[in-house]
Structure 1
């Protein structure tokens, strides 16, 4: 049952990632990857919340592993950071690397704290 829940979560998370990325990126004409930044921070918050709110293996598999695993993307984050640096956008590359880690950890911590309230 758990593997099926992971699959169901991923079926929702993957399109949500793509659509959110495209929507956010279409509203910014800078060279910064705001779409990837957004899905990673939101996914970190959701994972923190689920972790704090439940010990249920089923919910953790569905939302934490499936949905958040498909929503967030470390590989795209890494690729975009390298591309920014290679394109001489060192300031954007640095902000993407540091800002993503700090914002992601902060969002996960906030989600965890809020989740424990439930």
Structure 2
């Protein structure tokens, strides 16, 4: 049952990621950046709310896992070239860590 919940959440998250990419990815890759940062924020909130079991499977592993896309991040960083690609990759990781911390903090305060 858990695998089915992860697949269901992942399907929804990956469709949202695709839409963000189609709508906002251009030379700056803001769709991928938005997807990864949002997934990090939501995953931090899932941990802050102490979700577990089926709820964490569908929301955390499923939806957030489907929404985030670090494979696309690496391809886009490579395509941007040395300096711009490195800045983009580092900025994405730092924004993701900050968003995760913010999500955790906000959810733990609730």
TM-score, normalised to structure 1's length?
0.86
Note the alpha carbon deviations across 1:64-115, whole angstroms, 9 max, x for none: 0001111101111011101111xxxx44313211110110000000001111
- Paired positions, count: 110
What residue is the counterpart of 2:96 in the other structure? 104
Distance 1:35 1:55 in 2: 27
Most deviating of 48-57 and 36-45: 48-57
The offset of 1:56, in angstroms, is 2.1
The offset of 1:5, in angstroms, is 0.9
What residue is the counterpart of 1:70 in the other structure? 66
Stretches of structure 2 that go unaligned for 5 or more consecutive residues are none
2:85 to 90, 93, 105: 93
The offset of 1:43, in angstroms, is 0.5
> Over aligned residue pairs, what C-alpha RMSD do you find?
1.3
Contact 1:32 1:92 in 2 (8 A): no
- Displacement over 3 Å in runs of 4+: none
Distance 1:55 1:108 in 2: 15
